Structure 1
C-alpha cells in the first residue's frame, strides 16, 4: 500500500488499481444485493455521529498558508457537544498524519474552533477525529466569524490571529455562572448637554427612534463628554438595540462606566478591559454574548464584543495610539467599527476633542455627518491660549536661567492662587527631524515627499521613505538652503518646578504612576501626554512645554498628534470666562499652534487632508509597510504580484523598536507600498497571498513583516 496526501488534513491508502472486469463485478454485486453502505468510520475506527458527521475546524495556528478550514470526523460520543462555535481540540501535524500541502507542521493536539458541521466531506478518504470539545459554550457565531474574516482580509492577516484578539481566554468558573434575563429597555434620555451642538439633539432622537445615523463629533472641552456618550447609549437601548463604546485607556473606560451607571443603573452594562482579570473579563464577555446586558464599554479588544442586535458603535479619541493593536494583523478600532457599522447597518459615532485626518475624510466623503458646536459656544467653553515662540525665548532671560519662559511662569503664579496648574512635558525618546532654519518647514523628499534625514556615516541627506539622496536641498516654502535639527525640549522635572515655586506642592503623573484625579487646591501637576489627571473643578491653567519635541518628530502625523495632545490637556482647563489660560511653548506661526489658538481642530484636519491628497499620503491613499532582512525583503518584493497602480518606495534601513535611527545599527530594511483609492483591497490580497506562499515554501527563517496602514510611516 502507498500513502497519498489528501485534502483537509487526512491521508488515504490506495491499493494497486483493479482490473476493469473486477470493477464491473463489484458494481453489479452491489446493485443486485442493494446492500446499504457501510457506516462511515474515522481513520481510528471510531463510530461517527449519525447526522452531520463532518466538522470544519479553524485551527488556532496563525500562519497564513493554514488560514482555511480543516475537516475532521465527529465521533458519536461528541455529537451533542460538538456544535458550531465551540472550542475544540484536534490532532494536527505529523502526529495525526494531518498533512495537506506536503509539509509536516509538528504533531500533537492543538486548539481550534468548530465553524460548521456538514453531511459530507470534500475529501473522500478517512478523516481524523475530533479529539475533544473543550467547552460546550458556542463562542464563535456567524456574525463574529464574518466580522473577523473581514478584518483579516483588510489587514492581510490570518483569521486565527484576529480571533485571538476577539475572543478572550476561557475560564471554566465564568462559564458556570448563570445570568439574569436582559433588562427592559430604558426610557429615552433628555438631550442634556447635547443641546450645545448643532444636530446634537437630532442625533439622539434618531437613535431613540431606531435610526442609524453616522457622525463625527467634535466634543467641547470639559468633562461632559462621558455623560454625552452615555446618553447616546441610553437612547440606543431605548429603541430595543445594543450599543458598544470603545475608548483608548482604562482610565477613560472608568469614566464612561461611571456615566453609564448614572444613566442606566447598576448591572445594566458590561465593562471589558484588559485589567479586569481573566475570570471577570470572560464573565463580562459571556454576559454580552448571552444577551444578559446590551451595552458595552471597554478598551481596544472590546471592538469585537458580541453585542446582540447592535444599534450604535462609538469610538472616542480615534487618534490615540492605543486604538491600534500591537499584535498581528494590527487592526485599528476605528476601521473595525466602521466595518461593523456597515455590516450591522447600525449607527456610528466617532468622538474626540480634536479631529484626525481620517475623521475629516469620513465627513468629506459623505459617509458621516459632522456634529460640532457653534463658534460662539466654543469660545465660551474653551480656555484662552497664549503662545511663546523662538523669538520670545531668545529675549527671555528667565527662560535661559530657569528653563521656564517668563510668560508661563507669570501665568502659573497667578493661576496657583485659584487652583492647580497642569504642566505637560513630552515623553522621552522623541527623535528630531530636519527643518528649514528660516521658516521651520519640515525638509521633505522631492520625489515622494517623505522626511529627509542625515545619514550617520556620510552626513548626506536622504529620504527615510524611498532612500533617495538629496544633494542640493532648498526649502520649497521660502527658498532657504540651511537646515536645523528641530529642538527636543529639555525635560522639566518636578525638582526644577519645585525650585521655581518652593511653596507649592508638585505632583507627577506618567509612566511610573498615573494619577486619575487631583484636588482643587493649588498644586503643580507635571504630566506626560495622555497621563493628565482630571482636576476637581478644572485646572486654573496649563503649560504645554517643549512644543518642538512633539512637532519635530519624524512622523507624518507629528502636527496632528501634537495638536491632539495639546487640546486633550487644554480641555481639562476651566473656560476662558472662568479665567482658564493655556500657554504653549512653540512657534506661533505653525499650523498646529494656530489651530490651538483658534480652537479649530476640524479646520486643521481639513487642511491636512487637502495636503495629503495633493502628495498622495494616507488616508487618501492606502499604504503598506513591508520589512525584513535585505535578502528576505528583496525576495518578497520580487515574488509579490502587486496591483498595476502600486508604487514601491524604498527599501531603506530600519532599526529595532525602541532604537534610534541616529547611531544605531540597522536591523533590516523596510519598503512602503502605496496604492491610490480603490486599490486597498487588491494590495492587501496580493501581500497576503505572497506571504502565505512564502510560508508554505518554508521560508520563515528570515521573517518578513507586513503591516497595512502603519500608524508611523515617518
Structure 2
C-alpha cells in the first residue's frame, strides 16, 4: 500500500482476544486527520459492527496479505493518546495479564465536543515558572532536590505535624513537602505528577502549591469534577508546557510534558487500590513509568508500606533520612472504662486529659467504621484464628458447616491456638460498638462534630470541640488537635485481612500527625509489636519485620500472587498451564459464589511475566472457545475466566 496509508488500531474492547493491534487502510478523505493518538471508529468483520478504537501508529504497509478494511471515521483529530501513555498502558497491562484498552479507559476521560472546541479557541498562557523557591527540608540540605534532578527512586518519612502556610491556612507538613518537590521540578521546566488517595489530600497539596506556583501551571483531576471539567484538565495536560498535575490513582497515567517527578502520598492507603480491571496499583504503574521516562519517583508517607519496604531492601528505592526526629507524644492505655459518668469506653487518664484539652481547642476521637464482619478467634485468648497449613484466615462458609481456610480450603478441625493452646473457636465482630452520640456524652457541654463518609468535614477551627471521626475521615484542625483518642483499636486489628496490622498502623499514624506539637495521643486497648512501633514512631522498622514474616509464609509482597476465578474446569486448565513455569505454587481451589472456584497462585517476581503470559493465553482460549447450542435447551452463558494479579482481596 502507499506510504503512510495503514493505521494500526487498538480496539476499545474488554475481550482479551481483541487486545492487539489491527491494521486498517486509511481512506483518502481521512489522510490528514488520521494521525497517531486520535480516537477512531473501525469496522469489525464479526457481525458488521462499528467499534471505537485508538490509532496507535501510521505505517507504510501491512504484513496482512488480504484486503484491509478501511477506517470508518476519525472521531477527533486531537491526539489525546501520547506515545508515553500508550507505552505505559501496554506495559502495565502485560504485567497484569490485562487489556491495554481497560487502562486507557481509566487514563483518558470521555470526549466533550464543546469543551474541546473552547480549549482549541483559547490562547495558551500557562504563566511563569516558579523562582526563588525555599529548599526542601531533609537531613542533608539539597538531597531531595539532587535526587529529583538525577531521576532517583526515593522513599521519605513525612514530618508528622501540621504547618501554617503564608496565607494563614493550615495543612499537613507532608503536603508542604510534596508541594515544594513539585515546584522545584516545575522550576526546571519539567512536569510533576502528584498522586494522592482522595480529595482531602488534594485540597492540602493545592493550598500548599498556591504559595509558590502560578495556578495556571496546576492541573487537578478530581472525581468530584464534572465530565467536561475533567476533560478540559486532561487537554491542558497534553500540551507542551510543563505542569503540576494533582489527582487520585488514575493521575499516574496523565500525559505530562518532559516528566520530571512522580510523587505518591501514602501509597499503602486502600483508596489507591484500583478496583477496575486489570487492577494495576498506581505504585506499580509509577515504577513502570519512572523506568520508561527517567523521571524521579518519590514515596512519601507517615507509615512506609510493606511493598515499598521490599523495594528499599532490594536496593531499588533509596530511603532518605528525615531532617530531624519529630514524633507525636503517643501514650498506650488499657481498655478500662473510667468510673466517671458518661465516659463511655475511654480510659480514666485519657478521659481526664481529653476533657482538659477540650477547654482550649478541638479534640479528635477516632472510631472504627460502622458495620460488622464475622471472624473466628480463640475462645480463650481472642487471638485471631489462622490456618495451620498456610497461615490464612479461618472462616465459616456461608452455606454453613465446619470452619475452613479461605486460601487453601484446609479444614480447621481439629484446631489449636498457638498462643494459649485453646481448642475452641468463637465468632467475634469488627466495627464500632458504640455510636458517636455515646462518646459525646463523655464531654457534656462541648460541641460535637461528626465526620464520616456520609458527612465529611474537611477542617475545623481552633475552637473547643469534640470531633468524632471514622478512620480516614478525620478533619484537619487549625493549629492541630489538642488531644487525640484512638478507640476501637483492638476491634480494628480483628478485621479479616492480611494487611490489617499495616492498615491500623497507617490509620493511627495519620491521625496522630494531626495533633498539635506536644499534644497527647492515646491508643486505647492495643499492645504488641504494632502498638510499640506506633508509640516509638518506628514504622519503617515494623515494615521490615512484617516483610520478613510474610517472606517466611510466602505471602505478598514477598512474592507475587494471582487469583484465578472461574468454572472448575477453566481454573484447573489455567493452573495446569501456569505450573509449566518453574517456582509457582497454588493454594486451593476453594468454592466461591455462583458455583465458581477460586485458586491463588504464588510465584517470584522474576517469573511474573511468564506467569502472566500463560494465564493470558488461557483467558483467550476460554473466551474464544466455540460452543454449539443443544437442541431444545436454552443457550448457556459461556464460562469466564478471571485473573487478578496482586489481588488486594487475598486475605
Rate the CA distance shift 1:490–1:286 in 2: closer, same or farther, 3 A: closer
> 1:333 corresponds to which residue?
282
> 1:133 corresponds to which residue?
74
Separation in 1, partners of 2:84, 2:557 = 28
2:640 is equivalent to residue 696 of structure 1: no
What is the RMSD of the two structures over their aligned residues, measured on CA atoms? 2.3
The partner residue of 2:20 within 68, 74, 79 is: 68
Instruction: Note the C-alpha offset of 1:264.
Output: 0.9
The superposition leaves residues 628-668 of structure 1 with CA deviations (integer Å, 9 ceiling, x where unpaired) of 3445534544565652321111122335xxxxxxxxxx764
2:316 is equivalent to residue 388 of structure 1: no
> 2:189 corresponds to which residue?
240
Separation in 2, partners of 1:306, 1:226 = 23
Quick check: 1:430–1:549 contact (8 Å CA) kept in 2? no
Rate the CA distance shift 1:316–1:595 in 2: closer, same or farther, 3 A: same
Name the SS of the counterpart of 2:359 in structure 1.
Answer: coil
Instruction: Note the C-alpha offset of 1:436.
Output: 4.0
Quick check: 1:287–1:293 contact (8 Å CA) kept in 2? no
Instruction: Note the C-alpha offset of 1:433.
Output: 2.9
Separation in 1, partners of 2:8, 2:133 = 46
2:61 is equivalent to residue 148 of structure 1: no
Superposition map of 1:342-491 within 5 A: 342-373=291-322, 377-379=325-327, 382-389=328-335, 392=336, 402-436=344-378, 440-455=382-397, 460-491=402-433
Instruction: Note the C-alpha offset of 1:293.
Output: 4.1
Rate the CA distance shift 1:259–1:401 in 2: closer, same or farther, 3 A: closer
> 1:515 corresponds to which residue?
457
Instruction: Note the C-alpha offset of 1:575.
Output: 1.9
> 1:84 corresponds to which residue?
36
The superposition leaves residues 467-498 of structure 1 with CA deviations (integer Å, 9 ceiling, x where unpaired) of 01133322334544444445535433232133
The superposition leaves residues 202-254 of structure 1 with CA deviations (integer Å, 9 ceiling, x where unpaired) of 112443xx321221111021211111111111111222322111001012112
Separation in 1, partners of 2:606, 2:515 = 43
Superposition map of 1:193-204 within 5 A: 194=137, 197-199=138-140, 201-204=142-145
Rate the CA distance shift 1:412–1:356 in 2: closer, same or farther, 3 A: same
Superposition map of 1:151-166 within 5 A: 151-166=92-107
Separation in 1, partners of 2:502, 2:340 = 30
Name the SS of the counterpart of 2:562 in structure 1.
Answer: strand
Superposition map of 1:486-497 within 5 A: 486-497=428-439
Rate the CA distance shift 1:249–1:479 in 2: closer, same or farther, 3 A: same
The partner residue of 1:705 within 642, 646, 650 is: 642
The superposition leaves residues 50-74 of structure 1 with CA deviations (integer Å, 9 ceiling, x where unpaired) of 5322111111112111111111111
> 1:594 corresponds to which residue?
532
Separation in 2, partners of 1:87, 1:597 = 54
Higher CA-based Rg: 1
Instruction: Note the C-alpha offset of 1:143.
Output: 1.4
> 1:558 corresponds to which residue?
500
2:469 is equivalent to residue 527 of structure 1: yes
Quick check: 1:91–1:130 contact (8 Å CA) kept in 2? yes
Rate the CA distance shift 1:246–1:325 in 2: closer, same or farther, 3 A: same
Q: TM-score, normalised by structure 2?
A: 0.91
The superposition leaves residues 292-326 of structure 1 with CA deviations (integer Å, 9 ceiling, x where unpaired) of 34221111111101111111100001111121111
Quick check: 1:386–1:581 contact (8 Å CA) kept in 2? no
Separation in 2, partners of 1:357, 1:117 = 43
The superposition leaves residues 253-275 of structure 1 with CA deviations (integer Å, 9 ceiling, x where unpaired) of 12111212212122112111222
The partner residue of 1:645 within 580, 583, 590 is: 583
Question: Which one is further off, 590-599 or 431-440?
Answer: 431-440
Unaligned runs of 5+ in 2: 162-171, 628-636
Quick check: 1:430–1:550 contact (8 Å CA) kept in 2? no
Separation in 2, partners of 1:430, 1:528 = 14
The superposition leaves residues 559-578 of structure 1 with CA deviations (integer Å, 9 ceiling, x where unpaired) of 000110111111111122xx
The partner residue of 1:607 within 545, 560, 569 is: 545
The superposition leaves residues 538-578 of structure 1 with CA deviations (integer Å, 9 ceiling, x where unpaired) of 111122111122100111100000110111111111122xx
> 1:501 corresponds to which residue?
443
Separation in 1, partners of 2:276, 2:270 = 13
Quick check: 1:625–1:671 contact (8 Å CA) kept in 2? yes
Instruction: Note the C-alpha offset of 1:626.
Output: 1.5
> 1:180 corresponds to which residue?
124
Quick check: 2:578–2:584 contact (8 Å CA) kept in 1? no
Separation in 1, partners of 2:607, 2:75 = 41
Separation in 2, partners of 1:271, 1:261 = 13
Separation in 1, partners of 2:392, 2:290 = 34
Rate the CA distance shift 1:612–1:265 in 2: closer, same or farther, 3 A: same
Number of equivalences: 629
Separation in 1, partners of 2:10, 2:573 = 30
The superposition leaves residues 411-443 of structure 1 with CA deviations (integer Å, 9 ceiling, x where unpaired) of 321211121111111113352433445655433
Name the SS of the counterpart of 1:695 in structure 2.
Answer: helix
Separation in 2, partners of 1:163, 1:503 = 54
Unaligned runs of 5+ in 1: 1-39, 41-49, 93-97, 99-103, 656-665
Quick check: 2:156–2:301 contact (8 Å CA) kept in 1? yes
Instruction: Note the C-alpha offset of 1:499.
Output: 2.8
